[in-house]
Amino acid sequence: MPMPMSSRIRETVASPAALPGRPIDPTRLASGIQRVGATRLQDYARPGVRVTIAFTDATRACPDAALIGFLFDELAALGVRSDDITLLCATGLHRPMTDAERLIKLGARIATETRIIDHNALDARGLVHLGDINSLPVVTDRLCVDTDVLIATGVVEPHQYAGYSGGAKTVVIGCGGEATIQATHSPAMLDHPGVRLGRIDDNPFQQFVRAAGQRIGLRLALNVVLTETGDIVRAALGDPISVHDYLAQQARQLYEVAVPRPAHLALAGVEPVKAVNLYQASRAATYLALAGDTPLLPGAPIILPAPIPEGAGAGAGERRFFDMLSRAPSPAALIEQMRQEGFPAGAQRAYILAQVLLQHPIIVVGADHPEVVSACHMLNAPNLDEALRLGEQLARQRFHLSDDDWLDFLVVPHALLTLPRLARQ
């Protein structure tokens, strides 16, 4: 990749490791799936039952065409008719998928021949309240309970709040009502020391997701672990907690990477599916800066290549993110305001990003909407060369490094699939 102007740069690249074994062929998924826990599909599926499959939306790089295709085959073998299957897209507070995105996500046969419903977290008529767990409301899509068998697909990968995504999260958050999303993304929850990237034990967010999944009646989860190129390296089917425990253990070996030195400057790469808007792309910077044992020195600039053709994003959550961040006079003022007054569901990304901006300048590269970047208290660079020059200049000023001093530059090509940890000396 292009380097900054100075030759006194020590570059460290942090990428996901490799897991033993060959990738699983999506067309032969059945032979690669690990069956975990005591729950089996045949325990619930039989002729005449109604099945709802909750699947991830276009913001998640989940191979749902393969996963749902496998489930359809399994259900058909157990006598379940395709007419009795409903696909529920777990949009959370994101926008619905377009027809083109459905075709890519699900494949032509499933996308055109199956009943597909987009979850709407704001439509009270389509939601049901199942009580509270630890004072957090369990509000879910009515289709999750108005069914005989509820199944979820998903990817187990690093997640800002759940530690690792997957398990029941597709249903509890992705198909959750606004009240559930807001309560689980409140300042009190997000400031809890257990709510951290890569952490599952003693994580109240993850504990709620698991308990709420049981309350809703989620029977089975089919989840995968992916490489940075999208290959399936692990797949598991079973009860959601067993699936999540098994795959999170596998995922740690892949995604958590030791870095030998602290970094003065970093580049956080974003996958195309996340680079479509600033709400999603900014996750890369927050993952890198807020992970436990981050190798970033306080004040280190973060370069974020992301074209963001959709600007801040078109969903309700994305709009709230932009409104809160762009109207604030500074990140510090926004954090104070949000802690005192709270904020609507979806705006939590502004809260998290503001915490990063207190310490780290973020340089967005090649944005189609630079005005959105500027409004959100970040810097623009038209191309990577300019971003690298600006990043080095800011880093040398921040750390009082002369042109003859070494500057440590951390490159994380897949920042949403890598948890760099500073190696303990």
Asked if residue 36 and residue 102 are part of one domain, the reply reads yes
- CA dist., res. 77 & res. 98, Å (int): 31
Given a contact cutoff of 8 angstroms between Cβ atoms, the answer to whether 183 and 237 are in contact is: no
Q: How confident is the model at residue 200 (pLDDT cuts 50, 70, 90)?
A: very high
Asked if residue 314 and residue 236 are part of one domain, the reply reads no
Lowest model confidence (mean pLDDT) among 48-57, 59-68, 356-365: 59-68
pTM of the model: 0.89
Asked if residue 202 and residue 225 are part of one domain, the reply reads yes
- Which pLDDT value is given to residue 323? 96
Average pLDDT over residues 240-249: 97
Asked if residue 95 and residue 67 are part of one domain, the reply reads yes
1 falls within a domain: no
Domain that holds residue 90: 26-255
Q: How confident is the model at residue 425 (pLDDT cuts 50, 70, 90)?
A: low
- Which tens digit of pLDDT belongs to each residue from 11-58? 999 999 888 888 999 989 999 999 999 999 999 999 999 999 999 998
Asked if residue 264 and residue 250 are part of one domain, the reply reads no
Tokens matching residue 401: 């490094």
Domain-terminating residue out of 189, 223, 255: 255
Residue that is written with structure tokens 């795959």 in the block: 247
Asked if residue 320 and residue 171 are part of one domain, the reply reads no
15 falls within a domain: no
Residues in the chain: 425
CATH (domain of 308): 3.90.226.30
18 falls within a domain: no
8 falls within a domain: no
282 falls within a domain: yes
Tokens matching residue 155: 């990817």
pLDDT for residue 1 is more than 50: no
pLDDT for residue 143 is more than 80: yes
E strand or H helix at 141 = strand 136-141
9 forms beta bridges with 407
Asked if residue 393 and residue 413 are part of one domain, the reply reads yes
* Rg of the chain over all Cα atoms, to the nearest angstrom: 21
Q: Which amino acid is at 309?
A: P
270 falls within a domain: yes
**b/e string for 325-353 if b means 16 or more Cβ within 10 A?**
bbebeebeebbebbeeeebbbbbbbbbbb
Asked if residue 264 and residue 249 are part of one domain, the reply reads no
- Which tens digit of pLDDT belongs to each residue from 169-189? 999 999 999 999 999 999 999
- Which pLDDT value is given to residue 376? 97
Torsion angle defined by CA atoms of residues 380, 96, 209 and 191, in that order, rounded to the nearest 10 degrees:
30
- CA dist., res. 338 & res. 77, Å (int): 52
Domain-terminating residue out of 220, 237, 255: 255
Sign of CA dihedral 281, 285, 288, 289: negative
- Distances, alpha carbon 294 to alpha carbons 33, 249, 288, 378, 415, in Å: 33, 20, 7, 21, 12
- CA dist., res. 186 & res. 409, Å (int): 34
Terminal alpha carbon distance of the chain? 29
Q: How many domains does the chain have?
A: 2
- Which tens digit of pLDDT belongs to each residue from 265-320? 999 999 998 899 999 999 999 999 998 899 999 999 999 999 999 999 988 889 99
Going by their DSSP bridges, the two strands 51-56 and 149-155 should be labelled as: parallel
Average pLDDT over residues 309-334: 94
14 falls within a domain: no
- Distances, alpha carbon 13 to alpha carbons 258, 262, 404, 410, in Å: 10, 12, 22, 6
- CA dist., res. 152 & res. 176, Å (int): 13
Percent of the chain clearing pLDDT 90 (strictly above): 85
Asked if residue 239 and residue 98 are part of one domain, the reply reads yes
Asked if residue 175 and residue 69 are part of one domain, the reply reads yes
Average pLDDT over residues 109-122: 91
| Residue 419 phi, psi (nearest 5) | -115, 90
12 falls within a domain: no
Q: Which amino acid is at 270?
A: V
Asked if residue 276 and residue 152 are part of one domain, the reply reads no
- CA dist., res. 350 & res. 323, Å (int): 9
- CA dist., res. 85 & res. 79, Å (int): 12
Q: Given phi > 0 = left and psi -120 to 50 = alpha, else beta, which region is 313?
A: left
Domain-terminating residue out of 204, 223, 255: 255
Torsion angle defined by CA atoms of residues 69, 233, 268 and 281, in that order, rounded to the nearest 10 degrees:
10
The angle formed by the CA atoms of residues 155, 420 and 362, to the nearest 5 degrees, is 95
- CA dist., res. 224 & res. 155, Å (int): 5
151 forms beta bridges with 53, 220
Asked if residue 285 and residue 209 are part of one domain, the reply reads no
CATH (domain of 105): 3.40.50.11440
